[in-house]
Each structure stands twice: as structure tokens, then as C-alpha cells.
Structure 1
């Protein structure tokens, strides 16, 4: 996503120069510039970024890889909200899998030694999967509320399966379409400040600032301005749709729902706020100063790195906090070879007992579970909710 516009190599280029005239006929970096001294040393800052990205890579690879493995290993004859969780884990896994490429570039001082095809491919994989991750989070919020509000109607399970699979395909196609402007302008161009090429966007020479501003605004809209209201509204509606059960169960469900909203906000708002400031600076809405330029250089990349922590948090929020997933994990890992002893069957029986603890009621597992029970129980929806369905 954003790595393609203000990618990691842009930090080295923009740290030493500021675009004041709008660019020549080739690249934004080949322009009349004004030197601004950075507040942070190149080497120290780049090493901090490398350490952070390596940490995100290791944690995200292990957590999302485990989620994908468990979901593929455990076969359930249940309706398929877990498809969103599986696709979310795949998207996050692919995002973090590209991070070693950026770290390798950073360790070479921002140079891109892999060629132009790899430049485009790496950015495309990153961008498509990052958009896909965000879009699947929005789809899950809508699906969970609709499932809770309409479950009393006992809709056709097969039709719901087909609809969810089509939605997954559409999400990936939309993520690909959203990534096209990001990838189209990428080139491996010769750097004017160091030996070797850098992987960066090269916009049309007549109005490069406007092109960059337009691409960045599309990231803000598609990556935050649209998904966050959808996630917030439908999860808040879901929290309101939880019928009276035990106070403890109701409170726990609402806390998890609130966590979904807060984590997305905390991870993504800082980056998109800084990206919006940078866009305003590109359009000369904000007056130039070296302090602003240095702040944007550092803040863009730090907040972008922090936003990728979401790829590590998603497996915890949408899997480890779910009872069904924990049982599946125990069966797949701890009791993988113990089916003959009856331990796995004992876990299955315990899971079914806890899932039916509240007769026809809405529990944390039934509302927030990615793996729903084989028979869809009639939920007690408050008076008026879903009327006319």
C-alpha cells in the first residue's frame, strides 16, 4: 500500500532534498532543492526500522502461519464465516512475508539491487494483501452483525456459503484494483545521491505533485476513511444486538467488540493522519519548513511500520480469543497423535457442552466465533431488531 508511494527508499532521498519546483521531466528527485538537515542520523534511524520490521516479520509469520495451518487442517461441516478469518490470515501472512525485501534494501543504504520486475512484484504483493487485510476486516464486521440479526430466520446455509465465497473473490479483486495506481508508476531508477538504483514511483512530468497527492488520498480513503466507519458502525450494532444473558458474558462480548474497533483505530489512524499531512504539504496547503519536512520524513515511516503491527494483532483478536479456535489448536498440535486415546474426542465433547451452555442464547462464542455451530440456534434478538427481515 503506502510503501509504494512513500516507500522505505524515499526516506533516504527526501531526507537530503526537498521538492520545491514540481520536478523535471523524469523524477521528483531531480529538481531544484533546498537542503534540510535531518534531526536523526541516517544509519541509526534505518537500523531502528530494520529491527522493527524484523520483529513484525517474525511474529506475524509465526502467528498467521499457525492460523492458516489450523484452519486448513481442521475440517468442519459448519457455515463458513471462518473463510474471512482464513483469508485475513493469508493476507497478513503475505504482507509480512515481503518485509525481508525492504530490510535488505535498507541494509544497502536504500539501494534496490533486485531489478525493476522485482520492484513492481514486491510492491504489488504488499499492496494487494494489505488492502485485502483491511477489506476482510470490514467484511467480517458486516457479516457478523447480519448473521446475528437474521439468524432467527434460519436462512439457507448453502446460499450463505456461496455468498461468502463470492464476497472473498470480490474482496481480492477490489484489493487488486486499489493497488493498480500504486504499482503502475513504480520503476527502478538510478539514484542521484548514491551508486545503484532505487525502487520508487515515477509520475507524469507535467504534474507529478498532483499525481502523488492523488495516489496518497486514494490510500487514505480506501485504507481508512471507508473501512473504519464500516467496522465501527457494524460492531457497535452487533454489541447492541447481544440479548440479555449473564452480565459477565455480555460484558466480555462487548469488550472484545470494542477491542476490534480500538485496535484498528490505534494502528491505522496515526499513519493516515501523517499521510494526509504529507498530501497537504505536496499541494502547498501547508507552508514549507524544514521542521515540517523532517517530521514528515520520520513520522511517515515510523507510523507505517507501527501500522503493520496490526498483522501481528489480528491472529490474537480473531483467533486466540475465540474458544473454538483454541480447541482446534489443541487438537491440531497437542493431541495430534492421540485420537486413539480418546483425548481429541474429549475436547470435542467439552467444546459442544460449553457452546450449548446458554439455551438458545447469544454467547461470546456464538456471536464472535469464526467457527459457528453445526446447527444455527435461534437467537433471542431484542424487540424490533431486524423487524421486517
Structure 2
């Protein structure tokens, strides 16, 4: 079927000028989205990494800590590309920094989007194993295994995006970076694959993890309500952030393979697709909220390392405990908190 569909797109491949796309219509929306995300996401991710660093030094966290650190690292790298995208938009979709910089920044952006999705799946699977199979899963739920899995995620994501973005994402004639109108058949097939592997598959993993934890007999009602409530929020967040982009993108790229008028389709869907594309960066802002600030142990370590964040009588009391008293309290709470760590 691909052999039949591909020639249509090739034979009607036009320049951006002939397509007459309204490139300036997404400037205000994406600039506001990227500006807010960068302004709030950078400090929250740095604070989260600081809290996790001290949590790791205290000897708690385990394999979940490894996954969350990788998740926040991917978010931070993606955040650092946003100022360049803002300048690109303000310059009228013209990339002034050269082909190599465009390819590097575009590649970093894509790799970290899908790396964060994969680490989200690993966190959900690890939690599912810890709750449904607490004893038999101990051998695979170790820091060493988590480090190997993290390396595998980075390697596979790197190679996958490399295959999709080569030979280049830079248009030297119009100075477009990471944009093609209309796209090549090869890139369309790549994006359809990302819809399946980068959205539908992770969504099923989240659903299966939630379903398995709901049926686990090892949880008390209080733990079940708390874990399930947070998992539902995380799943809704995943759908809201990544769903529009992948669903609109899936429609766009499948339609481009089927239509003989790609420029008309590109004009009709341009603004909606671009805004959905920008919303995917919201995960860099929401990940620290869901994975760190909802974790009591991480909040405690963050307050202890940065006393200016501590407020109120309870915080002061917790921070003034002696190291021995804190260890006793921590051991008493470990049973209740270990299953709740990170989500």
C-alpha cells in the first residue's frame, strides 16, 4: 500500500511559497506557551533535581530514583531548547544559526520528548511490579537494572529519532528548521510510527498498570485510593499533553499520504497542528509537580537542604529533628511511603 500512496505525495510536492502557508499565525501562541513553560519549568526542574540529589544521598529512592532523575534530565534538556525556538518564531520562521545548529537543537528536542514518555512508562511498570508482585520482582527492581534500562531507553530513542530525522531537518532555501510543507513520504511514515510507539503504546501501558494496581489485594483502601487517584491524574495529564499532538499529527500524516492536494490540507491544519505541537512541552512543567512535589520524601529532603522553602510549624518541627530521631521516623514511615514514591 505504501508503494501506491507514496507517488501521489511525491508528484505534488510543492515549495512552501506555492503552498502559501500562514507561517506567522502560530507566532503569538507558541511564543506565549514556550515563554511560560521555560520561565516556570526551569526553576521547578532544578529544584526537583536538587531534592532528588539529597534524597539519593540519604539512601532512599532505589530504582524509582534512577528513573525520575532520567525523566527530569530529559525535561531539562528539552527546556533549554525553548529560547531558540522562541527566537526562531519571532524571526518569522527563519533559522539564522545554520544547518548544524538546527539539526542539533531539533534532534535534542525530539529525543527528549520521547525519552520522557519512555521513562514515564518505566516508572508506571516499576510501580506495578512493586505493588502486584512485591516479592518476586525484587531481583529486577534494583538500581543496577534501572541504570541499564535507562541507558537502553536513551540509546533506542537516539537511534529511532536518528532514523526519522535524517538526512536533514533544515531547509536551506527558506531557512525552515524542523518544518516541511508538505512533508516527504519518508517523514510521514516516521511520524505515523511515533503515534503508535510514542503515544498509543505508552497509553496502553499506563492503563494496564492502573488496572493491575486496582486489582491488587496487597493494598489497604487508603493506599489504593491515594495511588489510583494520582495515577488517574497522571494518565489524564498524559492524554491532555500528548494526545492532541499525536491525534492531529496522525490525521495529518495519514491524510498527506492519501491526498493529491497536500498544500490545501497543510493550510487547513497548520495552526491547530502547531499549537498542539507546542503543548507537548507542558510535560517539562508538569513532571516536577507530579513526580517530586507529590512525593513526601522528596519534599522533606528539599526542605531540609533549602530551609527557605520550609514554612509553618510542622515543617519547622520536621527540620529540627535530630538525625537519629529522623531515621526512626523515616523507618516508621517507610512501609507506607515506599509504594507511593514518585507518583
Work out which of the residue numbers 315, 338, 341 in structure 2 matches 1:366: 338
Is 2:149 aligned against 1:167?
yes
TM-score normalized with structure 2 length: 0.83
Cα separation, 2, equivalents of 1:23 and 1:101? 34
Find the aligned partners of 2:41 and 2:319 in 1 and give their Cα distance.
Answer: 30
User: Is the 1:119–1:186 Cα contact (8 Å) retained in structure 2?
Assistant: no
Root-mean-square deviation (CA, aligned residues, Å) is 3.3
Structure-2 residue corresponding to 1:95: 78
Q: Structure 1: which 5+ residue stretches go unaligned? A: 1-19, 372-389
Describe the SS at the equivalent of 1:321.
coil
How far off is 1:96 after superposition? 1.2
Q: Distance in 1 between matches of 2:202 and 2:96?
A: 35
- For residues 48-91 of structure 1, give each alpha carbon's deviation from its aligned partner in whole angstroms, at most 9, with x where no partner exists: 21111111111221111111122223403233321101110000
Give the secondary structure class of the aligned counterpart of 2:292: helix
| TM-score, length-scaled by structure 1 | 0.74
Deviations 1:127-154 (A, max 9, x none): 1111110000001111111122332358
Indicate whether 1:73 and 2:54 are aligned. yes
**Using CA pairs below 8 Å that are at least 6 residues apart, which structure has the higher relative contact order?**
2
The equivalent of 1:84 in structure 2 is 67
Structure having the higher Rg: 1
CA–CA separation in structure 2 for the residues paired with 1:251 and 1:44: 44
**Displacement of 1:172 after TM fit?**
0.7
Distance 1:286 1:237, change over 3 A: farther
Cα separation, 1, equivalents of 2:107 and 2:242: 20
| TM alignment of 1:85-164, pairs within 5 A | 85-153=68-136, 155=138, 160-164=142-146
After TM superposition, give the deviation of residue 287 of structure 1 in Å. 7.4
Distance of aligned partners of 1:46 and 1:346 in 2 relative to their CA distance in 1, 3 Å threshold: same
Equivalent-residue separation in structure 1 for 2:34 and 2:137 (angstroms): 46
Counterpart CA distance in 1 for 2:305 and 2:38 is 24
How far 1:239 sits from its partner (Å)? 3.2
Q: What are structure 2's unaligned runs of at least 5 residues?
A: 1-7, 310-316
The structure 2 residue matched to 1:198, chosen from 156, 162, 176, is: 176
How far apart, CA to CA, are the structure 2 residues paired with 1:31 and 1:153? 57
Q: Which of 253, 256, 260 pairs up with 1:279? A: 253
